[in-house]
Amino acid sequence: MALDSLFAPETVAVIGASRSTEKIGHEVMANLRTFEGDVYPINPNSEGELFGREFHASVDDVDAEVDLALVCVPAPVTPDVLEECGEAGVGGALIYAGGFAEAGDNGEELQAAVTDVADKYDITLLGPNTSGYLVPEIGLYTHFVSEMDRVAPGDVAVVAQSGGVGTALAFQAISEQRGLSAMVGLGNRADVGFERLIEYFDQDDETNAIVLHLEGTDDARGLLETCESVDTPVAVYKVGKEDVNEFAASHTGALTGDHALYEGGFRQHGVVTAESTTELLDIGETLACAAESGGPNVGVVTAQAGPGIIAADRLQAASANLPSFADTTTETIHEILPGITFEGNPVDTGRPMPEFSDVVEAVAADENIDVVLVYQVYEPAVGFYGEALTSIPDQTGTPVLFATNGPEDEIREGLADLEAAGVPAFPSVERGADAAAAVVEYARRQAKLAQDGHDGGDY
């Protein structure tokens, strides 16, 4: 596939590689230290080695076939540099520089020149005007911000229209100790845009959910239809409720369009929406393992009533159902905890206790329940019962989400372990409830799609 030259290259050339630590060409070389393939720094004015790789004067001098060129030169010389790449048979190129379509008439001409060269040589182009991308699984960190190699491999692909927002999302993944299968900052989308990336990551074995940061696109219908056509769940954070067009156009050359039309489109085409960068990653992490829940019915188990009320309130406000449990479930809960505080849905166990996970298992096994949200305030003295939950999704076929509050430095590792074991985990009750609501909304929109498309949905 053409996009393999970007996301599965074996040989990478860094054009404009530099010893000067101020330059992007240095930071990009530094971030490639973890890459498993061959790396060639290209600079006609440099000799010797950089990070143990020998400088070449031009991409044409490289003996091997170059899959990917990372173009770290200013906008005006980019068309010529890309021409050299084309002649050398390079398959894909990433252009970092700004000063193209986002920068007025001259920039638009320059961008047209770049796409002409890319077309002529069939080069797959990412950018211009972006900060790069990450494929942690193969150690490929083309991003010009350092420390991006702290993003671990995972199963969520992030596609951000803005490089800055992509960077923010990658840092958030680091903070939450969540892995990503990829993070791509699109920039001006002179060639590769949302649709091709969605289709590519849908085919990617490592990717189980795709999340998008979207400012605007000329072909909203094409984007929506692509989202609908793929099997992998897609979530989107659409910016531009208000009129921010002047600023947005100066950024990536795109207008933000009619927000209500986009919202309606996402609803119709089976895409769930997020209201923040934080929520976008939360939904990605959740859908990657809970998209198959298949229904709108949430069971809530809490060890503290106050946060449980918040969860129930927030879930209902988001149109989730909190159905009554089957009689057998209520009986089982009574057997486990004879003096239970509140035995409805939510179940309130009063405090965390060793039997906590047994209650969760009973709720997850209930035929009325499609997804379970568990909340427990972290209590240093009595411990953290999250660990006992990890076998429940496989045993019962019902996804389990976990939310807690505790000192960040004490709970973070535990939350990351839960997520690694297939239980999405959140450091506040609201984030957990919003993630469970997204699972419900995804199920509802997919069911509607199935009904509309095949006249056969069943709720």
Selection from 99, 81, 106 nearest residue 14 by Cα: 81
- Other CB atoms within 10 A of residue 290 CB: 29
Least distance (Å) between residue 445 CB and its own copies: 21
User: CA 126 to CA 186: how far, in whole Å?
Assistant: 7
Terminal CA-CA length for the chain: 38
CB 90 to its own copies: min, Å: 27
Per-residue H/E/C for 41-90: EECCCCCCEECCEECECCHHHCCCCCCEEEECCCHHHHHHHHHHHHHCCC
Within a 13 Å sphere around the CA of 302, how many CA atoms are in the beta-carbon half? 25
Nearer of residues 248 and 423 to its own copies, judged by Cβ: 248
Nearer to its own copies, 200 or 378 (CB): 378
Distance separating alpha carbons of residues 331 and 235, to the nearest angstrom? 38
Least distance in angstroms from the C-beta of 62 to its own copies: 27
Whole-angstrom Cα distance, residue 340 to residue 301? 12
CB of 97 to its own copies, least distance (A): 12
What is the crossing angle of helices 259-268 and 220-229, to 10°? 20
Least distance CB 185 / its own copies (angstroms)? 9
| CB of 167 vs its own copies, minimal distance in Å | 5
Of the candidates 176, 185, 178, 180, the one whose C-alpha atom is nearest the C-alpha of residue 145 is 185
Closest CA to 24 of 67, 80, 74: 74
Nearer to its own copies, 149 or 155 (CB): 149
Tell me the C-alpha distance between 425 and 306, whole Å. 19
Nearest residue (CB) to its own copies, 82 versus 418: 418
Min separation Cβ 131 and its own copies, Å: 9
Q: At its nearest, how many Å lie between its own copies and the CB of residue 367?
A: 23
Question: Judged by CB, which is closer to its own copies: 189, or 213?
Answer: 213
Look at the block and give the residue holding tokens 């535990």: 414
Compare residues 58 and 316 and give the one whose CB is closer to its own copies: 316
CA 450, CA 71: separation in Å to the nearest integer? 44
Q: How far is CA 15 from CA 23, 72, 163, 293, 431, in A?
A: 12, 6, 20, 47, 43
Closer to its own copies by Cβ: residue 79 or 163: 163
DSSP 447: H
- State which residue, 150 or 196, has the beta carbon closest to its own copies: 150
Instruction: Give the nearest distance from C-beta 162 to its own copies in angstroms.
Output: 2
CB of 77 to its own copies, least distance (A): 18
- Cβ atoms of 123 and 3 closer than 8 Å: no
- C-beta separation of 184 from 160 below 8 A: yes
Q: Residue 416 or 450: which CB sits closer to its own copies?
A: 416
Which lies closer to its own copies via its Cβ, residue 185 or residue 424?
Answer: 185
Q: How far apart are CA 372 and CA 293, in angstroms?
A: 10
